[in-house]
Chain A
Amino acid sequence: QKEVEQNSGPLSVPEGAIASLNCTYSDRGSQSFFWYRQYSGKSPELIMFIYSNGDKEDGRFTAQLNKASQYVSLLIRDSQPSDSATYLCAELNYQLIWGAGTKLIIKP
């Protein structure tokens, strides 16, 4: 069964530090990978998507994909209290498979 694994957390990071969120997946055929942020009581919102091996940067966010090792990561630089949320990763081949999410807490 295809799975996406995330540590549920909570992951506590001091303000200003780098938050590192990781996700492993089982489907070697996966083509697309997505990171979503979900605030409590709100819908998921897209942060990053990545299709190719390597790094993709967008502002304070960097997505890293390693298809050989089957993991995708999200780095958040200069973490802010407003980054506190649950982060969901998802991978797509024929089906879209979601991780259960990692709760991130940024401590002032």
Chain B
Amino acid sequence: GAGVSQSPSNKVTEKGKDVELRCDPISGHTALYWYRQSLGQGLEFLIYFQGNSAPDKSGLPSDRFSAERTGGSVSTLTIQRTQQEDSAVYLCASSLAHVSPLHFGNGTRLTVT
């Protein structure tokens, strides 16, 4: 079956511009995570959606970052007024339930020039 789909796969943007990253989770998966990974670094948690519960936004690094999940399915991560330090790979993952293993998308490589 289809895995987690992320788009775009690559995004180059100028400093100060806004960007939107999209994640389409595996059908039926109630949990959705966003992570950020800089080159050679570990996974940095950003935000977690579980069903209809309020999202866990504790990992968002600043108020320039926001995310929503419409209809319990597709999620969009928005970064406003991008900065060079936002350059990283943004990974989305979904899982069937809270205690289930995560399945990752291929990521979006964001480069801010």
Contact = CB atoms under 8 A, between A and B. Distances in A.
Interface of A: 31-32, 34, 42-46, 49, 88, 92, 96, 98-101
Contacts of B101: 34, 46, 49
A88 B102 contact: no
Interface of B: 33, 41-43, 45, 48, 91, 98-99, 101-107
Contacts of A34: 101-102
Contacts of B104: 43-45
The 10 nearest A-B residue pairs measured at CB: A43-B104, A100-B42, A98-B43, A46-B101, A49-B101, A32-B99, A44-B104, A43-B107, A43-B106, A34-B101
Interface of chain A, helix or strand or loop or mixed?
Answer: strand
A29 B101 CA distance: 17
